[in-house]
């Protein structure tokens, strides 16, 4: 179901948001890039599709999840989490939420281009991702769908930042729920992405922040190795692997380093052996020296930018750092392919 006809370029939503273009559509919502006329900033406007706002039981669940997501994102305030801007109702069937528009690429797109990141940048991403989780968990929010598709990589000079997106299936821990809180997940219903889903989440057990830690651990493992051991097989095979006793297989080059031990603890199957909190994860990460880890997947001469000071190579005077020779898009230094057109970037 799409609703691209709902709003056209130049149309102003709720006397505030000028629609620029449709940038995404799913089963229950359409997302537009728009300009906030009060600030001039770009925003992402998520509009509940008309059919999802009607009064059928399924549409009612869509609407309540949309309202839950708005409630959740309003609670969040962290530099690595997408920021809430506004929400409202245009008429009886048009609900919207405006969020920060994050420039950049999804982490999944970055990994598809680069395969694996340098250990130092993977470490930087881990600090940012677990920092975001500590911020969310601190106000009772469990994301429940941490994966590369829900993480944006923001370009920067010598440093790439992360923003966690899409709290559409997030849950609230007991103690943070309003009196009228109602669980929107029915008994036996599972939400999330199998390749990043913790065993207890897959089994439909109670809500826990440790499920996010498991998923984040798999994301950082993928940043380091370019692979996710639970992706690519049939659904039954993935489920069997996730519920099986075997943990992620750590390659020897990573196993011998404290970063490998961190991955093991973050992705442990039993909750009792898994890192207990994002704060615990950050304590370990702050003590890690990723620069001592030699990755066989990354050429150090063209590895991606890290948190340390980076000096880009000397370029011809007529070309800027990261500039694509085909479309002139400026890409973060270290990208091997243009994020706009896919053209290989000169690695000089």
Strands (E), 175-263: none
Report which secondary-structure segment, H or E, holds 239: helix 235-243
Bridge partners, 171 (sequence order): 142
Sign of the C-alpha dihedral computed for residues 141, 145, 148 and 149 taken in this order = negative
Secondary structure (3-state) at 329: coil
Whole-angstrom distance, CA of residue 190 vs CA of residue 82: 25
- DSSP tag of 295: P
Output the six-digit token pair for 11.
Answer: 């149309």
Which is the catalytic residue, given 51, 145, 149, 283? 145
Cβ pair 46, 37 in contact under 8 A: no
Joined together, the tokens standing for residue 46 give 């998520």
Q: Are 217 and 266 in contact (CB under 8 A)?
A: yes
Cα–Cα distance measured from residue 96 to residue 210, given in angstroms and rounded to the nearest whole number: 31
Spatial distance between the Cα atoms of 140 and 116, rounded to a whole number of angstroms: 32
Q: In the annotation, is 145 catalytic?
A: yes
Residue with tokens 């923003």: 163
Question: What is the token pair recorded at 250?
Answer: 């750590």
- 7's CB contacts (< 8 A; 6+ apart) are 13, 19, 32, 47
Q: Which residue matches tokens 């340098």?
A: 118
Catalytic residue ranges: 145
């Amino acid at each position: 179901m799409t609703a691209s006809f709902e709003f056209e370029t130049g149309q102003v939503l709720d006397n505030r948001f000028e629609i620029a273009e449709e940038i995404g559509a799913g089963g229950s919502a359409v997302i537009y890039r728009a300009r906030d006329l009060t600030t001039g900033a770009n925003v992402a406007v998520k509009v509940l599709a008309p059919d999802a706002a009607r009064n059928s039981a399924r549409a009612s669940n869509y609407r309540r999840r949309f309202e839950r997501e708005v409630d959740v994102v309003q609670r969040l305030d962290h530099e690595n989490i997408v920021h809430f801007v506004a929400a409202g109702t245009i008429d009886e069937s048009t609900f919207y939420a405006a969020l920060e528009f994050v420039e950049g690429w999804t982490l999944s797109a970055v990994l598809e281009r680069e395969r694996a990141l340098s250990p130092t940048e993977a470490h930087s991403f881990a600090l940012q991702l677990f920092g975001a989780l500590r911020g969310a968990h601190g106000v009772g929010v469990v994301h429940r769908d941490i994966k590369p598709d829900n993480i944006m990589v923001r370009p920067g000079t010598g440093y790439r930042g992360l923003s966690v997106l899409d709290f559409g299936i997030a849950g609230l821990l007991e103690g943070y729920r309003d009196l009228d809180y109602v669980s929107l997940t029915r008994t036996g219903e599972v939400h999330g992405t199998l390749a990043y889903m913790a065993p207890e989440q897959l089994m439909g057990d109670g809500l826990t922040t440790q499920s996010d830690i498991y998923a984040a651990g798999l994301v950082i493992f993928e940043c380091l190795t370019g692979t996710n051991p639970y992706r690519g097989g049939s659904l039954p095979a993935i489920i069997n692997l996730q519920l099986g006793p075997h943990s992620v297989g750590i390659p020897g080059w990573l196993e011998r380093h404290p970063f490998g031990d961190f991955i093991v603890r973050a992705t442990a199957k039993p909750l009792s052996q898994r890192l207990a909190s994002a704060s615990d994860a950050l304590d370990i990460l702050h003590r890690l020296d990723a620069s001592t880890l030699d990755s066989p997947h990354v050429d150090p001469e063209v590895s991606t930018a890290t948190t340390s000071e980076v000096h880009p190579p000397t370029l011809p005077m007529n070309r800027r750092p990261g500039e694509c020779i085909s479309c002139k898009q400026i890409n973060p230094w270290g990208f091997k392919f243009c994020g706009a057109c896919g053209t290989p970037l000169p690695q000089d």
